[in-house]
C-alpha cells in the first residue's frame, strides 16, 4: 500500500524524525519503519515509538 502525500509529509515531520532519533539513541539501533502491516495508522506508529522509548528509559533509568 502506498502512502498519500500527507502521510509522507507527516513521516518527514520534525516530531517523528525527532522520535526516530531518540529511539536510535535509546536502543542503539534504527527504529522500525512505518508500514501498514504493523501499524494501523501513523498516529499508532508515533504512539508505539513513544511507548517503547518511555518503557526502555524506565527500565534502565535513562534520562
Instruction: Give the rounded distance of the alpha carbon of 12 from its chain centre.
Output: 11
pLDDT of 1? 59
Name which of 49, 42, 48, 40 is nearest 8 in CA terms.
42
Angle at 28 between CA 42 and CA 6, to 5 degrees: 20
Residue 45, Cβ density class (10 Å: 0-12 exposed, 13-18 middle, ≥19 buried): buried
Per-domain boundaries in the chain: 5-60
Tell me the whole-structure pTM to 2 decimals. Answer: 0.79
Q: Examine the pLDDT at 36 and tell me if it is beyond 80.
A: no
Q: Examine the pLDDT at 37 and tell me if it is beyond 80.
A: no
pLDDT-above-70 percentage for the chain: 98
Q: Examine the pLDDT at 23 and tell me if it is beyond 90.
A: yes
- Residues 1, 62: Cα–Cα separation, whole Å: 37
Amino acid at each position: 500500500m502506498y502512502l498519500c502525500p500527507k502521510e509522507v509529509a507527516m513521516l518527514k515531520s520534525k516530531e517523528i524524525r525527532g522520535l526516530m532519533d531518540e529511539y536510535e539513541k535509546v536502543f542503539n539501533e534504527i527504529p522500525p519503519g512505518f508500514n501498514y502491516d504493523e501499524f494501523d495508522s501513523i498516529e499508532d506508529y508515533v504512539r508505539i515509538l513513544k511507548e517503547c522509548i518511555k518503557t526502555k528509559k524506565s527500565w534502565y533509568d535513562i534520562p
